[in-house]
Chains A and B, each alone.
Chain A
Amino acid sequence: MPEIKVTPLGAGQDVGRSCILVSIGGKNIMLDCGMHMGYNDDRRFPDFSYITQQGRLTEFLDCVIISHFHLDHCGALPYMSEMVGYDGPIYMTHPTKAICPILLEDFRKITVDKKGETNFFTSQMIKDCMKKVIPLNLHQTVQVDDELEIKAYYAGHVLGAAMVQIKVGSESVVYTGDYNMTPDRHLGAAWIDKCRPDILISESTYATTIRDSKRCRERDFLKKVHETVERGGKVLIPVFALGRAQELCILLETFWERMNMKAPIYFSTGLTEKANHYYKLFITWTNQKIRKTFVQRNMFEFKHIKAFDRSYIDNPGPMVVFATPGMLHAGLSLQIFRKWAGNEKNMIIMPGYCVQGTIGHKILNGQKKLELENRQTLEVKLQVEYMSFSAHADAKGIMQLIRMAEPRNMLLVHGEAKKMEFLKDKIEQEFSINCFMPANGETSTVATNPSVPVDISLNLLKREMALGGPLPDPKKPRTMHGTLIMKDNCVSSLIFFSDFGCPWLEHQLRFTCRVQLQDAHSDSDTHIRIYTHLKSVLKGYTIQHLPDGTVMVESIVIKVSSSPEEPNTKVLLLSWSYQDEDLGSFLSTLLKKGLPAALSSM
């Protein structure tokens, strides 16, 4: 029986280094190729030795698909393609293809230049890797080879994020990447059609959360920022350069405009301006409202938000600073945090999820003393606020997507095991479908049951449809007969045709049988007596008495003859076709018992 296998190399009961292997219809596909923010050693990247112990991956993979540009989904790509070795196609959407190399280069710089690591991928490797990328358009059906096709759907989450459908024959898998089921200020909501995949692989970051309305969250956020600025404090908002940053910028920009606020808002430089430019050029990937009005006013041209300079860190007075990276694990955001952490007037707002092991994760868990390198400690006095602005689907959103796509099986990745467990139960209860949650390196197998496509002669089909009437009657199924030709064992060239037009192929097999019967009547009367008898025994069958005396039950012919010597010994000749074998043998047995003496003539 055909089956689909799914093995996470990363993001199995975990968040970070998303990398999922799917085997479907003899094809192997890698979904995402990310890094883990919480580790600085080998565990940073997925364990590609699972695929092969030595040598390149090219011959083991048919394609690699990257869902979006976040590093936990694409951070290991140059390592995989250039250092482990993979020359096959890599698919991603246009915005992802545009932005991903910039984030990779940034990641490389922090790792190699700042932390001084060696044995890491180089700038050239990022370039070589990106040459293998084939851009995907939304809803475009891309034929990877003759059998494997992929199709991207809009996922929300960040600019260019996509869900992908992978299809071989009638088997299919949908991988969501990260997605968002509610539209926000700059992106639309994820959407998929009722494609009924065999497996839906979904992220489950917020598996147990049902978030309150977005409006409340935004109001809370603005209130906190406002209060801090009013009392002269500084607000630090660690973000990734692309994604939530733009969302929050639009939010603050409109608030500053409305409230006529004067405190400066800064955005850490470098990526920012470039980032906003990407949003302007890829405006078709943003939400309806921004797209509609972009000619008059481009939402990504900010009036109140200015570039940040390191020297501003010690500036007096209130300010709001967006700084990268988002989990406080390195870079400018960490530097600013160290400076501002000691003052209780200040505030840090964490707008997204933080991976275990990062400083972001520690302070969110209420840690008040942080150990830094060189045995220094840092006291955290500033207010720490967490506001879930990550554009992930919450439990409600995940259920909504299941309702949209109607999968036959569900598989959860990109979440914490405990939360997954809860959601898994909920899904199995509500939809009565299997839900899997494999750990890294563990394989989930789903047996599929694909139907077999066959060519049918149009004549036969039309005749059958005409006979069957417009609607099939469930009580009286009509059986159609035909013959299937298989050439060269190739299932796809099956031809289904009727007996018509191919007489050389069809045989008639008829059975005949003699039954002796004592019946003191004339032959024609015996015919009538048989007819009457059968009529009373057999209900629901077509029984005819033909003009030449023959009795017919369906296709079974019964004839009576007798010799002049023994007029009372009747010889019944029964003849039936192979198709009526059951009825024929029943009749012969029945008639052997003789006819009842008193038969009322009708």
Chain B
Amino acid sequence: MKLYCLSGHPTLPCNVLKFKSTTIMLDCGLDTTSVLQFLPLPLVHSPRLSKLPGWVSKDGTINLEKELKECAGRVFVDSQPEFCLPERELLDLSTIDVILISNYHCMMALPYITEHTGFTGSVYATEPTLQIGRLLMEELVNFMERVPKAQSATCWKNKEIQRVLPGPLKDAVEVLTWKTCYSIQDVNSALSKVQLVGYSQKVELFGAVQVTPLSSGYSLGSSNWIIQSHYEKVSYVSGSSLLTTHPQPMDQSSLKNSDVLILTGLTQMPTANPDGMLGDFCSNLAMTIRAGGNVLVPCYSSGVIYDLLECLYQFIENANLGSTPFYFLSPVANSSLEFSQIFAEWLCHNKQSKVYLPEPPFPHAELIQTNKLKHYPSIHGDFSTDFRQPCVVFTGHPSLRFGDVVHFMELWGKSSLNTIIFTEPDFSYLDALAPYQPLSMKCVYCPIDTRLNFHQVSKLLKEVQPLHVVCPEQYTQPPPSQSHRSDLMLELQPPPMPYRRCSVLGLPFRRRYERIHLLPELAKSLVPSEIKPGVSLATVSAVLQSKDNKHTLQPVPKPLPLPPSKKRKRVVEEPPEVLAPKPLLSGSVPLEAFLAVLHKVRVSLKTLNTYLAC
């Protein structure tokens, strides 16, 4: 059994497990942090961005004026933003049988894997994961395609040139594998390969392996996966949460007794408490509005935003913000809000019981009905006429490189009355803000990451007791910025097996048994004999049938009765036609009884001894 690690990002994993005769890809996360190296894509022409000076090396020998622009001492690539893809050379992607998706954030690289690679397998995901994943992909494509950029910069990727560039561009890794966004056709084609599964559904793969998604408590439809045969069990834990937010709680007990547990997707903010962050979020928001400023919340269009809206629903009345407009801008805003209301089965108990009343599970339905929350596909159209300030705007993309958020940064960045509140933990806020410097607006960093922290995960592992743990190497040492915090790492006995991008790990397994079925006729014909109390033996002679990785033992077929013929009158002269199989002899010989029988048939011990001697 082997594990191929195609992504180095611990929360956006992409691993391939070879188990028995199957090749299973676990998630295909797309590392989008690479877009931070690029200039933002403005929705309307931005004189500031277009006037940024080009970059020329200090000695003047390298001139990349067209490709690289300088802003407040940092260099950015002026080109269509590109993503860092999972490794595609480590193994032949066309050999992958199935892809298991754990949550909608971890499937964004799917079209790169399933399209134009010869992939012929299928993808398994839950219905909310598919539907919301589709929305996020459509949104990403829409963000890119509505502001096309004519040029694509490639010269800076030259190794010799990249070496002399200023940081952090100099230190960017795998730049040659970076790719621009896929098309909507690729998205549709990739998602047509998805087969829907429900929690605790047992899915058979080629009769050899069974895979089962389990609730992971992180987002709508998010799952961990069990990959098992009759004798071996691998648990794949990805983005899980023990906090009570909107999704169904995490199923922990089914992870018990794993031989190997692959652990990914822990919190990216191990020191930030989500509840405290939510409090900070609300108080900063209220403070800004009261002072007459606007609040910008860069966020994904599904996930934490549901919790933010729910929190605000309770908060705005008390804080006297009832008249402040809340806007949610995204090409998929409406769909995201609507979809969140129809997945009752995938929600926590509280929300489920609301549906039984019947009431919409999320209170944002009421915010919309009372006109407190309005949603628009973009800043164009209806929004421009309805727009009132001061207001709160939720919009993407959290990297601040594309989407409607770019427009609001240009619009509000110059005033210190306004505040930008970061809630998504995926991007460093300082890097995100870099191309907008100098900025006057206030910046508040309240990253809300509900995924497991180190304390929770060590408690979980103590409970489920896997024999071995495999995890990204980042989890085996404290974060570089807090190297003294030895509590911010995994300490286990035996120590976890770390992986990094391009690792190939041999998993410590010894397969000893396989399941076989005795047909009832065969089982009936067996004669067990007790060799010691509680243990019986039976010898078996049977015919093995193996089909679709299922094995059965059948009784040996009886020879057909031969047609009587003249030749066969002298039976004795004919040798036995078919060798009637005799079972092997085994077990301890009951010596006393054996001798007694021998004695009966007049073999004395003496003759036996002489016989044995010769």
Please list the residues of chain A having a beta carbon within 8 angstroms of any beta carbon in chain B: 94, 97-98, 135, 137-142, 151, 274, 277-278, 280-284, 294-295, 449-458, 461, 464-465, 468, 472, 477-489, 495-496, 499, 502, 505-509, 537-539, 541, 578-583, 586, 589-590
Specify the chain A residue showing the minimal Cβ separation from B201. Answer: A139
A454 to B544, CA, bound (A): 13
Q: Tell whether B581 is near chain A: CB-to-CB under 8 Å.
A: yes
A57 to B260, CA, bound (A): 43
A484 CB contacts on chain B under 8 angstroms: 526, 528, 537-540
B581 CB contacts on chain A under 8 angstroms: 479, 481, 579
A454 to B552, CA, bound (A): 10
Chain B nearest CB from A546 CB (Å) reads 21
Q: Tell whether B515 is near chain A: CB-to-CB under 8 Å.
A: yes
Whether A139 pairs with B198 at a CB distance below 8 angstroms is: yes
A416 to B111, CA, bound (A): 54
Chain B nearest CB from A531 CB (Å) reads 15
Q: Tell whether B202 is near chain A: CB-to-CB under 8 Å.
A: yes
Whether B200 pairs with A142 at a CB distance below 8 angstroms is: yes
Q: Tell whether B543 is near chain A: CB-to-CB under 8 Å.
A: yes
Chain A nearest CB from B217 CB (Å) reads 16
Whether B352 pairs with A94 at a CB distance below 8 angstroms is: yes
B518 CB contacts on chain A under 8 angstroms: 451-454
Whether B338 pairs with A140 at a CB distance below 8 angstroms is: no
Whether B583 pairs with A481 at a CB distance below 8 angstroms is: yes
Question: Known pairs A281-B344, A452-B523, A495-B513. 8 more at Cβ < 8 A?
Answer: A94-B345, A454-B516, A458-B511, A465-B544, A483-B538, A486-B536, A499-B586, A508-B585
Whether B576 pairs with A579 at a CB distance below 8 angstroms is: no
A480-B542, A590-B573 given as contacts; is B513 within 8 A of A579 (CB)? no
Whether A98 pairs with B356 at a CB distance below 8 angstroms is: yes
A455 to B553, CA, bound (A): 12
A506 CB contacts on chain B under 8 angstroms: 584-586
Whether B338 pairs with A295 at a CB distance below 8 angstroms is: yes
A361 to B283, CA, bound (A): 66
A480-B541, A578-B585 given as contacts; is B199 within 8 A of A137 (CB)? yes
Specify the chain A residue showing the minimal Cβ separation from B336. Answer: A295
Q: Tell whether B556 is near chain A: CB-to-CB under 8 Å.
A: yes
A502 to B573, CA, bound (A): 39
Interface centre among B199, B212, B542, B585 (most CB of A within 10 A): B585
A451 CB contacts on chain B under 8 angstroms: 517-520, 523, 552
Whether B589 pairs with A537 at a CB distance below 8 angstroms is: no
Whether A482 pairs with B512 at a CB distance below 8 angstroms is: no
A281-B344, A284-B342, A479-B556 given as contacts; is B536 within 8 A of A509 (CB)? no
Whether A480 pairs with B543 at a CB distance below 8 angstroms is: yes
A579 to B580, CA, bound (A): 9
Chain A proximity mask over B558-599: 1 for CB below 8 Å, otherwise 0 = 000000000000001101100111111111010000000000
Whether B515 pairs with A456 at a CB distance below 8 angstroms is: yes
CB-contact partner of A481 in B335, B338, B541, under 8 A: B541
Q: Tell whether B252 is near chain A: CB-to-CB under 8 Å.
A: no
Whether B515 pairs with A453 at a CB distance below 8 angstroms is: yes
Whether A472 pairs with B545 at a CB distance below 8 angstroms is: yes
A483 CB contacts on chain B under 8 angstroms: 537-540, 584, 586
Q: Tell whether B535 is near chain A: CB-to-CB under 8 Å.
A: yes
Specify the chain B residue showing the minimal Cβ separation from A459. Answer: B512
A579 to B585, CA, bound (A): 9
Whether B360 pairs with A481 at a CB distance below 8 angstroms is: no
Across the A-B interface, give the 4 residue pairs with the lowest CB-CB distance, nearest first.
Answer: A451-B517, A456-B516, A507-B585, A452-B518
Interface centre among A138, A283, A479 (most CB of B within 10 A): A479
Chain A nearest CB from B534 CB (Å) reads 5
Whether B342 pairs with A477 at a CB distance below 8 angstroms is: no
Q: Tell whether B276 is near chain A: CB-to-CB under 8 Å.
A: no
A306 to B355, CA, bound (A): 23
How many interface residues does B have (CB within 8 Å)? 70
Chain A nearest CB from B525 CB (Å) reads 12
Specify the chain B residue showing the minimal Cβ separation from A279. Answer: B358
Chain B nearest CB from A221 CB (Å) reads 29
Specify the chain A residue showing the minimal Cβ separation from B515. Answer: A453
B201 CB contacts on chain A under 8 angstroms: 139-141, 151
Within 8 A of A (CB), among B502-527: 511-520, 523, 526
Whether B579 pairs with A583 at a CB distance below 8 angstroms is: yes
A452-B520, A506-B584 given as contacts; is B341 within 8 A of A281 (CB)? yes
Within 8 A of A (CB), among B285-336: 334-335
Chain A nearest CB from B597 CB (Å) reads 14
Specify the chain A residue showing the minimal Cβ separation from B521. Answer: A449
Whether B540 pairs with A487 at a CB distance below 8 angstroms is: no
Whether B576 pairs with A586 at a CB distance below 8 angstroms is: yes
Chain B nearest CB from A595 CB (Å) reads 14
Interface centre among A295, A502, A586 (most CB of B within 10 A): A295
A579 CB contacts on chain B under 8 angstroms: 581-582, 584
Q: Tell whether B431 is near chain A: CB-to-CB under 8 Å.
A: no
Chain B nearest CB from A269 CB (Å) reads 16
Whether A281 pairs with B538 at a CB distance below 8 angstroms is: no
Specify the chain A residue showing the minimal Cβ separation from B196. Answer: A139
Whether B582 pairs with A274 at a CB distance below 8 angstroms is: no
A98 to B356, CA, bound (A): 4
Specify the chain A residue showing the minimal Cβ separation from B586. Answer: A505
Whether B512 pairs with A458 at a CB distance below 8 angstroms is: yes
Chain B nearest CB from A142 CB (Å) reads 7
A139 to B200, CA, bound (A): 8
Specify the chain A residue showing the minimal Cβ separation from B343. Answer: A284
Q: Tell whether B157 is near chain A: CB-to-CB under 8 Å.
A: no
Chain A nearest CB from B583 CB (Å) reads 7
A468 to B553, CA, bound (A): 13
Q: List 23 A-B contacts (CB under 8 A).
A: A97-B356, A98-B355, A98-B358, A135-B345, A137-B199, A137-B345, A139-B201, A284-B345, A451-B518, A451-B519, A452-B520, A455-B231, A456-B515, A458-B511, A478-B543, A479-B556, A482-B540, A484-B540, A488-B535, A506-B584, A508-B585, A580-B582, A590-B572
Specify the chain B residue showing the minimal Cβ separation from A461. Answer: B514
B512 CB contacts on chain A under 8 angstroms: 457-458
Q: Tell whether B242 is near chain A: CB-to-CB under 8 Å.
A: no
Chain A nearest CB from B253 CB (Å) reads 11
Chain A nearest CB from B258 CB (Å) reads 18
Whether B580 pairs with A582 at a CB distance below 8 angstroms is: yes
B345 CB contacts on chain A under 8 angstroms: 94, 135, 137, 284
A140 CB contacts on chain B under 8 angstroms: 198-201
A274 to B356, CA, bound (A): 10
Q: Tell whether B67 is near chain A: CB-to-CB under 8 Å.
A: no
A480 CB contacts on chain B under 8 angstroms: 541-544, 553
Chain B nearest CB from A138 CB (Å) reads 6
Q: Tell whether B546 is near chain A: CB-to-CB under 8 Å.
A: yes
Chain A nearest CB from B529 CB (Å) reads 10
Whether B542 pairs with A479 at a CB distance below 8 angstroms is: yes
Whether B543 pairs with A472 at a CB distance below 8 angstroms is: yes
Specify the chain B residue showing the minimal Cβ separation from A497. Answer: B513
Chain A proximity mask over B356-380: 1 for CB below 8 Å, otherwise 0 = 1010110000000000000000000
A135-B345, A484-B538 given as contacts; is B579 within 8 A of A582 (CB)? yes
A282 CB contacts on chain B under 8 angstroms: 342, 344, 355
A483 to B542, CA, bound (A): 11
A468 to B514, CA, bound (A): 17
Q: Tell whether B551 is near chain A: CB-to-CB under 8 Å.
A: yes
A472 CB contacts on chain B under 8 angstroms: 543-546
B589 CB contacts on chain A under 8 angstroms: 507
Q: Tell whether B339 is near chain A: CB-to-CB under 8 Å.
A: yes
Whether A583 pairs with B576 at a CB distance below 8 angstroms is: yes
Whether A505 pairs with B544 at a CB distance below 8 angstroms is: no
Chain B nearest CB from A22 CB (Å) reads 21
